[in-house]
Chains A and B, each alone.
Chain A
Amino acid sequence: MISDPDVVGLLYLVTIACFVVSLKFLASPRHARKGNWVGGVGMLIAIATTLLLDGIGNWVWIVIGLVVGSVVGVVGARNVRMTAMPQMVAIFNGVGGGAAALVALSEWHNATGPVWDETVSIALSALIGSISFAGSIVAFAKLQELLSGRPIVFPAQNIVNIVVLVGAAALGVAAVAGVEDQWVLYTLIGLALLFGVMFVLPIGGADMPVVISLLNAFTGLAASATGFVLDSTVLIVSGMLVGAAGTLLTLLMAKAMNRSVASVIFGAFGQVQTGAGTARADDGRTVRATTAEDVAVQLSFARKVIVVPGYGMAVAQAQHDVRQLADVLEERGIEVKYAIHPVAGRMPGHMNVLLAEASVPYTQLFEMDDINPEFPQTDVALVIGANDVTNPAARSDPGSPIYGMPILDVDKAASIVVLKRSMRPGFAGIDNELYLDSKATMLFGDAKESVLKLVSAVKAS
């Protein structure tokens, strides 16, 4: 048993240092995995220290809780497919937020008297934690396609949301002002859960990278607020580190879409812009369909090919086949690179994870700013299931809802081949002018089947 508060504090300080080093390492490809281990050691120290504190009892329940939680965590983490990673991240986010809200609830239940700063922390932790929990569950349901990935909207949605949020906040203020009834916090949590559900419902699939990062930040902040209630610096600092990381990612994602975070949350993209930025198909240009054999010939005679993956590749689980195609091309001496848009897919860095799973070396993956100057020297740009992030209207058409969004300059390549399921517009609900480009041809069909056909056609040619 540890009873000396200085020893306890020092052990928690080691944990904090481990977490900071862990985050630092996670930001560099060479050390990332080591970083996760350092974080793991820090966490074990914190858990062991807490278990050894004076006055900790209820051992049976603690052990059962640890075992049950571990089994759920390991089974979930081990079995999830890489394509399901966004929903996995969402759900682990949610459980953290839920835990923070429950800790706040029990602290409220056992509060001995009104201490205003503790009550503020309890209210904040319950509020943010509940929003994060409910929001993450809805995000999970959307990504898992239990709910439609399209925005779900109803009239006066933003007003209703604001009323709910203000109601929850008002209850928090009431609690701080001295209303000590249990129902205050129950109702607050209920309203916060409702808000969490309603604020994610109208957000569509392509905006998920922003939302997931934001929920991540929320859970961190909720944990940090709990630290104030429990007077625990390790919670305050660790929670805030995550809050900062999540906020930074949220801003990065929003910037990559040239939208403000507020417009993502309140905008219900694809809903507001009707008739804007429609491709002018009546100017005589038409979409040209092609066959796998023709594309194979094009690829075989190319010197340089850039693959542009998007969410369509994830849906079709085509990443392994894409890598196979790249291998076949490289065997013929053709240079193959991958162009990754920051918001391609459903979470930050989604494409990188999928391609890493398919053992594509990360030295072949290039960020937007690094690869864009190379498109003019590229013979074939192979767009696999990406849409809005390649739409030249973002550069040229001020009327387009995605105008100003940084895009991959696919249209500057000598020729463009687009693998696409159908002519259905992308998430933003607008047509892609790229498809009308005289250099562009379309290979329709499921991304996986199309790529497999390409592999055998290239081998045969």
Chain B
Amino acid sequence: MTDLPLVIELTILVLAAFLGFEVIAKVPTMLHTPLMSGANFIHGIIIVGAILVLGTADDTFTKVIGFAALVLATANVVGGWFVTDRMLGMFKRRPEPKRDSKEPGQ
């Protein structure tokens, strides 16, 4: 990847911090869990790092570490996404038609 000057990278970092605060400044309590879970999914972006490490590994040590990182990061990405989607699928504006008294799985 292109080698950016440190100052540019720091500038990007600081602007991203402000952006993050602004974007989610007024999230309602109701969505705190999905937001956290969604943010959880986004930090799965570390999968890019894991692929780079494993994909360019020459020695066994790096391969093992890279492989472990890739498994963890993939679980983060996939699990984080599905949990968030499942959770958000439950949020409804209006009541749905009445179900039977017993919910599944209880």
Residues of A in contact with B (beta carbons under 8 Å apart): 5, 8-9, 15, 19-20, 22-24, 26-29, 32-33, 35-37, 39-40, 43, 46-47, 50-51, 53, 55-58, 61-62, 64-66, 68-70, 72-74, 76-78, 80-82, 85, 88-89, 92-93, 95-96, 98-100, 102-103, 105-107, 109-110, 117, 212-213, 216, 219-220, 222-224, 226-228, 230-249, 252, 317, 320, 324, 327, 340, 342, 347-350, 352-353, 356-363, 365, 367-368
* Bound complex: CA A249 to CA B28 (Å): 11
Q: List 15 A-B contacts (CB under 8 A).
A: A19-B45, A23-B42, A46-B48, A50-B55, A55-B55, A57-B56, A77-B82, A85-B83, A88-B79, A216-B36, A230-B1, A235-B48, A242-B39, A249-B35, A352-B31
Contact pattern, B 72-97, Cβ under 8 Å of A = 1, otherwise 0: 11111111111111111111111110
Q: How far is the CA of A101 from the CA of B84 in the complex (A)?
A: 24
In the A-B complex, the 3 residue pairs with the smallest Cβ-Cβ separation, listed nearest first, are: A69-B74, A244-B20, A73-B78
Contact B55 A99, beta carbon cutoff 8 Å: no
User: Complex: how many Å from CA A363 to CA B62?
Assistant: 52
For the complex, would chain A's binding face be called helix, strand, loop or mixed by DSSP majority?
A: helix
Partner of B47, one of A47, A80, A239, A240: A47
Q: Which of A81, A100, A327 is B98 in contact with, Cβ under 8 Å?
A: A327
In the complex the two chains form, what is the Cα distance from A376 to B2 in whole Å?
63
B75 touches A353 (CB 8 A): no
Chain B residues touching A, range: 35 or more
- 19 further interface pairs, Cβ-Cβ under 8 Å (given A65-B71, A96-B40, A96-B73): A23-B35, A23-B38, A58-B63, A88-B79, A103-B53, A103-B69, A106-B57, A222-B46, A232-B48, A236-B16, A237-B13, A238-B42, A248-B24, A249-B35, A320-B103, A340-B29, A349-B33, A352-B30, A356-B87
A301 to B64, CA, bound (A): 67
Q: Do B17 and A85 touch across chains, with their CB atoms under 8 A apart?
A: no
Tell me which of B1, B19, B26, B35 contacts A26 (CB under 8 A). B35
| Closest Cβ–Cβ distance, residue B74 to chain A (whole Å) | 2
Contact across chains for A320 and B1 when beta carbons are under 8 A apart: no
Assuming the contacts A69-B75, A241-B16, A243-B17, asked whether A32 and B48 have C-beta atoms less than 8 A apart, the reply is no
Q: Which residues of B contact A69 (CB under 8 A)?
A: 70-78
B102 vs chain A, min Cβ distance (A): 8
In the bound complex, do residue A361 and residue B30 qualify as a contact, i.e. CB atoms below 8 Å apart?
A: no
Asked if residues A240 and B35 are in contact (CB atoms below 8 Å), the reply is: no
Hey, which chain A residues are within 8 Å of B29, CB to CB? 340, 342, 348-349, 352, 367-368
Q: Name the residue of chain B whose CB is nearest to the CB of A452.
A: B101
